Amino acid sequence: MSRAVLRFVTHRITRHPDTDVTFEAEYLPCKWKAEPSLDSAAVDVECMSHTGLSDHRGFRRICTSFAMVVRAE
C-alpha cells in the first residue's frame, strides 16, 4: 500500500501585470455596442451619445481584465 503526502499552499488571484482593463457597453434590446476602450470615459461618452439619438437609457457595462493565480507569500 502506498502513502501520499498532501501539502496545502495558499494562493491569491491578481490582475496580470502585462495587461490592461478593457471597458465595453451595450444596449441589449437594439444590439447597440460601444467600441471597446482602455478609457472608461470614452465608453461613457458613446453611451450618452446613443441616448441622445435613441432615448435608450440603460446600458450593460463590462470591465474585462486578465487574472492570474499566484502563490501567496
Residue 2, pLDDT score: 85
1 or 22: which leads in pLDDT: 22
Q: What is the pTM of this model?
A: 0.78
Between CA 39 and CA 28 the distance in angstroms is 21
- If you average pLDDT over residues 1-19, what whole number do you get? 92
Locate 54 and state its grid cell.
435613441
Residue 6, pLDDT score: 87
Greatest alpha-carbon pair distance for the chain in Å reads 73
CB under 8 Å to 33, separation ≥6 — which residues? Answer: 24, 25, 26, 27
- Measured CA to CA in angstroms, residue 60 lies from 16, 21, 40 at distances of 24, 16, 13
pLDDT tens-place string over residues 19-47: 999 999 999 999 999 999 999 999 999 99
